[in-house]
Chains A and B, each alone.
Chain A
Amino acid sequence: MSTAPRIYKGHPGPGVKVTGEALVASDNFSARYDLDLVKGIVSRPAHKLAGQSYVGKILILNIAKGGVASAWMLRDMVQSGRTPRALILNFANPIMAQGAAFADLPLIDRFDIDITQAIRSGETVTVDPQAGTLTVGR
């Protein structure tokens, strides 16, 4: 059954166009404090995605939180292959933007709605960072 695609517009960011399965929570995000980079899972016990793999997913979270290390870590994540396919936030901070720029990891933020409420885990999402759009469905 096909439905009309839903398109969400945010601020353009670094990286190239990708498509993947969404992994969504209303929690915040820090690569250093929240993730086990070796196992490729969310490791902070209080995080709603604790224990889940983010590898290959379109990771959709609320805001970027403390931890300047993320600026380096995103590139190492991308090069190791244990990486989300794209990072979508309501609000990135400079660290995430700098890290995504360095890693060429697709990043979009600043939507006119709460993006963590608009998309459900498991939905297929196309991320176009140059246009700053997320498209759900075809």
Chain B
Amino acid sequence: MKLDDHQKAMLAGAEGPARQYAMEQILKVGRFFDAEDCVPISQVHLMADPEALGPSGVDFLEGLARLPLAERRVRVPAITDPRGVDFNAYKRLGQTDAMADLERRATAAFEALGFMMTNTCINYQSVIPPVLGEHIAFGDTGSSIYANSVLGARTNFEGGPSALAAALTGCTPRYGYHLDRHRRGQTHFEVTSRPRDLAEWGALGGLVGRAMRSYWEVPVLSGISGPVTSDEIKQFGAALGSFGSTPFFHMIGITPEAPDLKAVFDGPVPAATTLGRAEIDRLMASYRPKDDKLDVVVFAAPQLSLFEMQTLAGHLDGRHIHKDVALLVTTSPDIKAAADRMGFTASIEGAGGMVLSGVCFYQMYARDIGEANGWKRLMSNSAKLVNILGGYGYEPILDSMSACIESAVAGRIVGAAS
């Protein structure tokens, strides 16, 4: 892999151990994917919640944070994905002081490195959306797939250690979705029935994700007419990235690199697999429980946008969530502040819900808080969330936002899926 003189100097340790670590990480990953060189990147989005970091990860970060200022500061704007602890809520959720302590230490280390603690996975909606052709290093499956596909920016899934390396050097190995040749369509799906709500957009993403055989397989969706909203395509992409492994898709007539089918495929357009009402219904039904018991309703994964907060507040205003059911909402600190100012938080919390800031449900010790609160039966309109939580000891149910809310109020599962 070719390095320029500056990169070679960083690798040799001339700018301290943090940048040396970063270049070593870049080189190991670049060689694994046969990258020819590094590509400069303009911004970094880092996933590093305390549960993922673990004590050893936090120790590692603190080691970097103790270095002299010039050796430890990031070289491009660098922001963070949701954290694991909302300090205003962690005790009520049954999180421990050990979790909170790890969170405090990780946050202090990131601040010392120069990270901006945005604590959001919807940075493409709420911070700085990248633009067509911009090379970036994004570290959340949902933010990566949205930036790549919907905005036409270029990133691989940059897990924490590599996103950190990109922030410390301003570059990343040039492989995968930085290259034109990997952005060509491979597998064709024709959507015959437009999803009716956010849960169904997620279900559609789940169906495509399940069909993906590797990181490199690029799905192409045709048949979706008319505009798609940011929140709809956000749910679709987040589910696709969670059920599958791919960080990129084309949606014909909707995403910027896919004006028509001929433009995205090399050679003849392959025959399409049909995805419609029956397939969406089947995926939703696969999360249908045997009885109507309900413990907790969660709106998260991705964090809610301002528009979703407004819709949710409209549903909950003046209503009362059943005493035996908890309702949690996660959003970014910036959207939370806006929701506070606009009265959305008051409507949700007035009904008995909790609005959590700067966290996301599956990144906040979901297994532990489920056990601490006796939560097993969980309902959400996020296909990504229900997919993840199956491995965390929950019995998750996927349904629309309105069905989730009616169920939270009734204290049992009601609505389309009951």
Query: Do these two chains really belong together in a complex?
Result: yes
**Once the chains bind, are B141 and A68 in contact (CB under 8 Å)?**
yes
Q: By the criterion of a CB under 8 Å from any partner CB, how many residues of chain B are at the interface?
A: 45
What 19 new A-B contacts, CB under 8 Å, besides A94-B157, A97-B33?
A: A32-B52, A33-B388, A64-B245, A65-B245, A66-B244, A68-B140, A68-B141, A69-B47, A69-B159, A69-B363, A73-B52, A76-B54, A79-B56, A80-B54, A92-B32, A94-B156, A97-B29, A101-B32, A102-B25
* Interchain Cβ contacts under 8 Å between A and B, 7 examples: A28-B245, A63-B245, A66-B243, A69-B47, A69-B51, A76-B53, A97-B29
Q: Report whether A75 and B57 are in contact in the complex, using a CB–CB cutoff of 8 Å.
A: yes
Whether B29 contacts A101 by the Cβ 8 Å rule is yes
Report the Cα distance A64→B139, complex, angstroms: 16
CA distance A69 to B121 in the complex (A): 13
CA–CA, A68 and B141, complex, Å: 7
User: Which of A1-9, A43-51, A52-60, A118-126 has 4 or more CB atoms under 8 Å from chain B?
Assistant: A43-51
Q: A43-B391, A64-B215 are in contact. Are A99 and B55 (CB under 8 A)?
A: no
B158 & A94 in contact (Cβ 8 Å cutoff): yes
Q: Are A13 and B25 in contact (CB under 8 A)?
A: no
Among the interface residues A46, A66, A101, which one has the most CB atoms of the partner chain B within 10 A?
A66
Q: Which of A13, A28, A94 has the most CB of B within 10 A?
A: A94
Count A/B pairs, Cβ under 8 Å: 127
Contacts of A135 in B (CB 8 A): none
Q: Which residue of A lies closest to B32 (CB)?
A: A97
Contact flags (1/0) for B387-404 with A, using CB distance below 8 Å?
A: 110110100000000000
Q: Establish whether residues B214 and A91, one from each chain, have CB atoms under 8 Å apart when the complex forms.
A: yes
- In contact, A72 and B161 (Cβ under 8 angstroms): yes
Contact, CB under 8 Å: B25 / A33: no
Assess the A94–B162 pair: CB atoms within 8 A.
yes
**Closest chain B CB from A106 CB (angstroms):** 12
Interface contact B242-A66, CB-CB below 8 Å: yes
Which of the listed residues B32, B48, B157 has the most CB atoms from chain A within 10 Å of its own CB? Answer: B32
B28 within 8 A of A: yes
